[in-house]
Structures are given as C-alpha cells and as structure tokens.
Amino acid sequence: VWLVILLIFINPGFPFSLFRVKSWADAFGGELYSIVTKYSGSLLLQKKYKDVEPTLKIKEVDGLELVKKFSEQMENMLRRKVEAVERLVEAAEDADLNHEYNSSLEFDYYNSLLINDKDENDNYVELGDEFILEPNEHFNNLLVNTTYSDIQLPTNVYNKDPDILNGVYMSEALNPIFVDNFERDPTLTWQYFGSSTGFFRLYPGIKWLPDENGVISFDCRNRGWYIQAATSPKDIVIIVDVSGSMKGLRMTIAKHTITTILDTLGENDFVNIIAYNDYVHFIEPCFKGILVQADRDNREHFKQLVDELQAKGVGTVNKALTESFKILREFREAGQGGLCNQAIMLITDGAVEDYEAVFEKYNWPDRKVRVFTYLIGREVTFAPNVKWIACNNKGYYTQISTLADVQENVMEYLHVLSRPMVINHDHDIIWTEAYMDSALFASQAQSLLLMTTVAMPVFSKKNETRSHGILLGVVGSDVPLRELLKLAPRYKLGVHGYAFLNTNNGYILSHPDLRPLYKEGKKLKPKPNYNSVDLSEVEWEDQDEILRTAMINGETGYLSMDVKVPVDKGKRVLFLTNDYFFTDISGTPFSLGVVLSRGHGEYILLGNTSVEEGLHDLLQPDLSLANEWIYCITDIDPDHRKLSQLEAVIRFLTGEEPDLECDEELVQEVLFDAVVTAPMEAYWTTLALNMSMETETGIEMAFLGTRAGLMRSALYVGSEKISNRKFLTQKDKESIFTMDHFPLWYRRAAEHPPGSFIYSIVSEDDSGNPSLSTRGEGKRKLFTSHVPHHVCPDPFVDASFLAGSTGKFLGAVDGPVMTQLLNMGMFRRVTMYDYQAMCKVPYHHHSGAQPLLSPIYAFLAAVKWLISDFLMCLRRHKKHDILQPCDTEYPVFVYEPAIKETNGLIECGDCQKMFVAQQIVSSNLLLLVTDAVCDCSVFPPILLAHNASVKCERMRSQKLRRRPDTCHAFHPEVPRGSTGGRAHSWVSPWACLSPLWWKLLPP
C-alpha cells in the first residue's frame, strides 16, 4: 500500500469536522516536513545539483544495442568455458588411447575422503597422503588445492577396484590441463571428469565429507550434467508391478529403482509412471494419457506418489504395456515430447502371460521403443521371460536383488542409449538447467544462488573398442550465473531495470524475482521446483506469452508492457511501463533479456569532475560503494581479492594498482556523485553537534544514495542506540545496492512525486525510512533520512501494517472504515499473483487413483479406504504440514492521490460511526480520525488472504519449447538384439548371449 495511515480514535461526542481534521493534518505535516527537511539536508543537496546542472550531459540508453552488447560479452565468456572443456576431452581421450589396461595395477592416488587423515600411529592412511588445502575466495572461501585434483568415490564403489585404479591412473593426465585452463581463464570455477566406472576427479582438490550417516551418496553418474552429456532426450514410461507378490522388500527395491530412474532425467526428457495389478492406473491421475516434462518439480511430485504405492492383487502386464505404447506413439505422431529416444521401463518380480502380441502390434518390426526390464528379487524362475522382453525390443535386462544393486543396474540403460552417439563420436556440448550452489546459501541474493554446467562426453578411440561404443565418462565445468550477470551492470539498467536469462525450455536461469528458497521453520531449503520456474510465472503480465515465445525461438527484438511490480515482500506495488529487449546467446540454449523502465531506465546522467577533486571526496569516512557492483574486477588476481570495491577504485585512480581493470564510465559517475554530495558530510556533522537531546530525540540517521551505487550516511546518535542495527549493512539486502536490485527505499522514492517524502512505519522485521525524491533533468536523485520514532505512536496505523510493534493491516483493525474508503475510491484493490508460493499439501492418497480398466473400482476403493486410509490416519496428519509449490492470488490496496480528503458515516446497528480522512501534503501519509466506541464488529474485516491452488494444468502443461539441436537414437552398427551395457574392464558385454534368445529374434 502506498500510504501510511495515521489513525486517531476519538471519544463519542467529540466534535470534529473536515476542516478541523485538515488543520490537524496541515499542522502535523508541516512540522514533520520541517524536521525531515532539516535533518536530511535535502534542500542543500538540491542546490548542489542545481549548481552543476549546466555541466551535465544526458545520454539516452539504446536498449537493443545494450542487450546485444551484453549477449556478445556473455557469449565470449561462455565460449572460453567450452574451450576449457574441449581441452579436457582431448586430453582424456588421448590418455585412454595410450593407456593399456592392467588388471593387477597398483597405484596410490589422492582420495578426497581420506586425504590428510592419519591412523593411531600418526601415519597417513592408505590413499590419504598429505594434501595441502588453503582457503580461496574465488571458491567461496573453501579449503582447496589449486595445483592438483583429487578423487571422490561413492560409498558403494570399491576404491581399489581394477577398473577404478586404471581409470584414475589414466586420468592423471588431466591435472596439468586443469591448471592450464585456470591460468588461461581465471574466471573458471570447478572443473571435473566423471568416469563411467563411478569415480569423480575434481579440480581444485578438496576434502570431501560424508553425510550425517557416514555415507558418500554423491555419484557423478546420476548428476544432470553427466546424463545430459551421455544421452539424447528421452521419452520414458515407467511401468511398475504393484501386485501382491511385490510386498515387503521387493516393493521397497522397486520404489528405489523408480526414484533412481527419475534422477537420471532432466528438463529435456518426458516421463510418466503407470502402476498395474488387477487393473492399470497412472499414479498421478492429472497426468493420465500423457507424458510430462521431467523437470525437478514433476520428478519430486512423482517421488512423493511412488512412496505411497501399495502392493496387492494379481499382476497383468499386457494392459500396462498397451497403454504405454499408445502414449509414446501419440506423442511421437503429434510431434510432442523429446522426439528422440523412447523407452519403457518395466519393473516387476515376474511376467507369465503371453505378451508377444502386444509387441507385434505396437513395436515390431521397427522397434522404435526400447524396453528395459528390471527383475526385482532373488527368484530366477521368471528371468527368461523378463530377459526376452528386453532383448526383443532393443533394451537391457537386469536383476536387482538388494537396495545396494539399484544404482549400478539402473545406470546401465544410459549406456545403451548412449551407444549410437559414442560410436559416431559426436561430442555434443550441453548446458544444464540451473541448479543450486548450496555454498552460497547465506551469502548472496536468492536469484544469484544458481549455476549452470557445460559438459561434453569422453569416448574411447581404441580401434578394438570403438565399434562397441564405449563411453569413458563426461567432463564438465561449472559457471555461476552471478558471473554472467556481472556483464550486465546495474548502473546501466536504472532504478527498476534488470537483466534475466532463460533456457530453451522457457525456464528461468536467473531473474531478480526468482525465489528458489523457502523457509521451513528456521531453515532455508530449496523449493522442489526451484529450477523449473517458467518465464511466464515471473513475467506474468505477458498474458499471451509473446515475450516467452520470442525468447525461446532465439529471436532478437523489443516488447513494451505495463506491469505491476510487487515490492516490500508483496505489501506494495509499483505501476511501471517496461521496455523488454531480448536476444539469444549464440552457442548456448540460453536467451538474454534486459528490462528498462520508462523514465528512469531511458537515460544516464553524465557529470564531469577531475580525478583529484573526486579522490579527495571519495576518501571521506561517511562514503561507501555498492560492494556487489563491479567498479573494478577484484576476483581474478589473488592480490586484489582482499580489496573492497571502494579501495579498488581509489587504488585504480591513484595508480597504485595499474593492473586493475575498472569500468571507467561507472568510476567517472562515482567521482561526480562524490563531489556533488561531499558537502553533506559537513552539514550532517554540524547538525549532530548542535542537536538538543531534550527537544529533538528520536532522530537517528541520515543517508543518501545515487544511481552510481554511492552511499553517504551520518549518525545523530551513538551506534548502540540505533533501532535497527541491520539497516544499511550487508546482512540487510533490501536496504543496500546489490547486484540484482536497487534498495527498496530508493525504488519506492523513485516513483513518488518529486519534492515530497515517503515514510515507512518501523516494524519488527522492517526498517522504516522516509525518502525524498527531487527531479533533475533526465534523472532523479534520492535522499533519505530516518523518521523520528516519536512521530508515530502506537495508535497510528499503517495502511499495510500497524505502526510500531503491532504490524496489522488497517482492514483487519477496522474493516468497516477500510471498506468505506474502498467504496469512496480513496483506495482501490489490485489483484496480484505469485506463482512461486509454497502451500500446505492437501492430503490425497494417490495409490488409489482412478483405474483405466476396472469394473469393480468402486468396491475396491471402498475397501481400500477402510483398510488403508484409516490405518494411515497419523501419517496423513503429518503430511498436512508439508509445503509444496502452488499458485496464489492476493490483494494489494493502492491509494488514489486524486482524492485528498473524504468523510462518512457507517451505520452499525445501534450507533453510527463517523470518520474523516485527510491527506498530509508532501508525504505518503493519510490522517484518519474515527469514532472508537461505536461497535461495528458486525462488519467483517478485510483480509490480506492469499488464495492458493495447486494447478493440475500447470503441471501437465506442454508449453512451447526449443528442443536440443541433436538427437542420437539409433545406429546401424548396434545389432538388433544387442542389449550391451557399459564397458566393464574396457570390454562391452552382451546381456542376450544364449542362442535361444538369438533364435527368437526376427530376421
């Protein structure tokens, strides 16, 4: 809400009129304006800018030119990452070509779990020799070794296995390439090689710590970058047997198998899950008959539903296979899904029926759909049947007897799918969707937590193995999205401007309004859908998805929109006209958008001042610069990392650090702002020395900010007396200049009429700051000072939240008055939307989903409720507290400045409630005087409720997307009946060796 309402309750019979209230408002407003004008020094600052006005130049911003320039710089930066990865691929393949496998090889290497560990005799443990680790700011201050890499292995992989030893020994050749890459491009972060045998070589080397259970669960082979580089897009239907024979451990193994398969999928893949026993049902009824994108949101949703599956009845697989083939065929013919690999994953403890007719009708002779079979349990009676299904449909058969077997056996299907690409030696470059860098949780804005990875596959070049298509592994390098956004400086984008990135699927890579974390109790956690937030869910004013469509198609262009921008955690809204400029980033699946707001974003003010004069004023103690902005590049050279941005600018200007690279245009702006604002320090100091503590208590601070990210501040009291000690500190991201937004007080003041103040009521988790906005030619400068606390005693109510410690919305305190103000047009209700909210889960037991083919479903459902749901009552209660992504609609109330005063009577049964509302000039305050005794509780309060919905349509949406450029589905050198998996001891095995199976193959 724009207004702060000052609410005075009076006794009945106390005479007040519109004229009297106006006189109170004028008197109060005049005194308040006088105090804030004096202690902010606003008039002095206006005069200083007026004095230099003849020397100013106004430069109009060309948005299209700007976005193209940013895109070109980002393309160059990302190309350097690709070149680094290509060098690693070449080195790895050459090393393997020159390495001869030795089954008895003995070789000591640095194991990241064991390095620097000693035994009871103070000797280093095996594979745990001394490994020097030092903190490095470039790697989030982690302890690292930038001269050497080390090896990580999952707990279930034996660290002295011959395959591991040979692979680690061969990949030692990557160490000098890692170091050389880092020297060529100091902006590189983590570089690594993930082997198909399970080891992970990471540079720089680190100490790897197990989880709370003492287990290393990280397996590079199920990371998104590995899977996407090793395979092409996939359409997959998972069929799981939930018949009675699957109870107990078998069902537990089956669930873990499904979860592991889901973990091998990414946003370029599509999936669905069908459960079968006496009847067939989709475990999510919303997804009946379709495939859905395997983004993080849908994968996590599937995992919850899989956990609820129960075993009962008799299994008949034919109907499930038929349904699966139909879905895949319909998607293929409709041009939907991945349009590349298609597969069915069958998870069962046995198959006895005659299923050959299903394959003859739906999959033979072309075998467009591969079928992978997973036999659960130790029983081998049905193994021939299950193996036959896989071998006759270009798939792979495996038996899973324990939970420990799941990971390795599931990974085999990826090697089958990768073989066409491996045989062709197609080194596709892939870029992953955004993912969380947990090391940045506590240190950065939420929108800057994410990273992307560039990766490429590594193949065997040996003649004797090439025809088998052996994938050695995948190399990759991380790219923090923060590094990309450094190339789109804030000062070029204006008060409300910003840059954002999205993927070929329309998902956000980076956006200042992206909120990937949520609070569960006191802990911050990643949202289940943190990296699958669609552009249309952030730029939701783009109702026809014109912007989204153009950016997904990689177009270059411009679009203008009127938008409603929520600020102050959704309490208030700004009405802006934004110009969107967009283009693609060549060589990547990403597109870049730049937003400039009309007015503030269209122009840059260029001042002129000497270095000598500017340096003098930069050195004043009350001045600081936005430390997240890049005035000078300090994170490449280790000697510069200790410098703050202000220190770097000073050393650059004095010539102390000639190697520093600085943004000269931004530095010139800072010099100019420093000179113009310099008199404020002396002015504030004089006031502080002459303050009368008896008459003017409560004045705590004055501060100002400029578009160049410069801030000055002065304390009128001792620092121990400051009400909000977080304000203007690095911990209070809302009140300082950060990489992805201007301060909240700056943004609000920018939209307020020039020459007036904005006041915010201090609440428990908020700092209240009045702001003054004055207009200069082509640019606004913003100056703020702290509101005296005695101005707003407890009876005064903010239109959003009650003043002081109460924090309540006026509509909740006095619903009848707020209703009348709305009816009279003094306020209007604006509907806002949040598509990134988290809501409590409504309990819904999915394992009893509507079957496709069951005449007795009603009876079974009733029995199921009596037996299952009743027994799960306690579990159900617990699930009510789980949060999940949802869409919300909520109201914001906006003051209409054209109506400066109003009054009225509210009939409340036995009495009448009188009220008078009067605007306080030169402010965003409204004085409201009302009768406190007349009881109007018969009228309901106005609530700031969020109406939430978890939308089926949003989850199953098939929005426009741009598919990856390449597809490797089949290769003529792969035999029809071959179900060979990954290389073992560098020789590819075959799962269908029995002559019986080969005789069954069609010619």
As a whole number, mean pLDDT of residues 270-298 equals 94
Of 10 and 259, the structure prediction assigns the larger pLDDT to: 259
pLDDT value of residue 87: 98
Of 856 and 319, the structure prediction assigns the larger pLDDT to: 319
Residue 390 in this model has a pLDDT that exceeds 70: yes
pLDDT value of residue 408: 87
pLDDT value of residue 325: 97
- Output the CA torsion sign for 614, 619, 622, 627: positive
Tokens, residue 349: 């403890």
pLDDT value of residue 969: 84
pLDDT value of residue 696: 57
Q: Which of 190-194, 212-216, 577-581, 705-709 has the lowest mean pLDDT?
A: 212-216
Q: Which of 578-592, 800-814, 874-888 has the lowest mean pLDDT?
A: 800-814
pLDDT value of residue 840: 82
pLDDT value of residue 772: 45
Query: How many other CB atoms are found less than 10 A from the CB of residue 922?
Result: 17
Q: Which of 191-195, 271-275, 401-405 has the lowest mean pLDDT?
A: 401-405
Tell me the residue type at 100: E
Q: Rounded distance, CA 266 to CA 687, Å?
A: 61
Measure Cα distances from 200 to 178, 206, 208, 222, 475 in Å.
14, 12, 11, 12, 10
pLDDT band per the 50, 70, 90 thresholds, residue 6: low
Residue 646 in this model has a pLDDT that exceeds 80: yes
Tell me the chain's radius of gyration from C-alpha atoms. 33
pLDDT tens by residue, 412-468: 898 899 888 888 888 999 999 888 865 444 444 555 578 999 999 999 988 765 556
pLDDT value of residue 8: 57
Q: Rounded distance, CA 926 to CA 928, Å?
A: 6
Contact assessment for residue 552 and residue 961, using Cβ atoms and an 8 Å cutoff: yes
pLDDT tens by residue, 466-499: 556 688 999 999 999 888 989 999 899 999 999 9
Cis before residue 743, ω within 30 degrees of 0?
no
Query: How many other CB atoms are found less than 10 A from the CB of residue 827?
Result: 26
Contact assessment for residue 261 and residue 236, using Cβ atoms and an 8 Å cutoff: yes
pLDDT value of residue 596: 96
pLDDT tens by residue, 294-303: 988 899 899 9
Backbone torsions φ then ψ of 593, nearest 5 degrees: -120, 145
pTM over 0.95? The answer is no
Contacts of 83 (CB under 8 A, 6+ apart): none
Contact assessment for residue 127 and residue 111, using Cβ atoms and an 8 Å cutoff: yes
pLDDT band per the 50, 70, 90 thresholds, residue 1: very low
pLDDT value of residue 601: 82
Q: Which DSSP letter does residue 506 get?
A: S
Q: Which of 152-156, 280-284, 764-768 has the lowest mean pLDDT?
A: 764-768
pLDDT value of residue 573: 92
Q: Length of the chain, please? A: 1003
pLDDT value of residue 466: 55
Domains of the chain: 28-61+607-823 (no CATH), 67-218+429-480 (no CATH), 233-424 (3.40.50.410), 481-606 (3.30.450)
Backbone torsions φ then ψ of 371, nearest 5 degrees: -120, 120
Residue 130 in this model has a pLDDT that exceeds 90: yes
Highest mean pLDDT among 641-655, 831-845, 902-916: 641-655
pLDDT value of residue 850: 41
pLDDT value of residue 804: 30
| Average pLDDT of every residue of the chain | 83
- Output the CA torsion sign for 562, 564, 568, 572: positive
pLDDT value of residue 751: 87
Alpha helices in 880-989 (DSSP H): 952-955
Q: Which of 182-186, 753-757, 791-795, 834-838 has the lowest mean pLDDT?
A: 791-795
Q: Rounded distance, CA 176 to CA 172, Å?
A: 9
Residue 995 in this model has a pLDDT that exceeds 50: no
pLDDT tens by residue, 496-511: 999 999 999 999 999 9
Of 590 and 797, the structure prediction assigns the larger pLDDT to: 590
Q: Rounded distance, CA 564 to CA 566, Å?
A: 7
pLDDT value of residue 799: 26
Backbone torsions φ then ψ of 558, nearest 5 degrees: -145, 145
State the pairing for strand pair 435-436/450-459.
Answer: antiparallel
pLDDT value of residue 88: 98
pLDDT value of residue 289: 94
pLDDT tens by residue, 946-982: 787 766 777 777 788 888 888 988 766 655 444 443 3
Q: Express as a percent the part of the chain with pLDDT over 90.
A: 54
Residue 10 in this model has a pLDDT that exceeds 60: no
Contacts of 668 (CB under 8 A, 6+ apart): 606, 607, 608, 609
pLDDT value of residue 975: 52
Residue 800 in this model has a pLDDT that exceeds 90: no
Q: Rounded distance, CA 531 to CA 293, Å?
A: 13
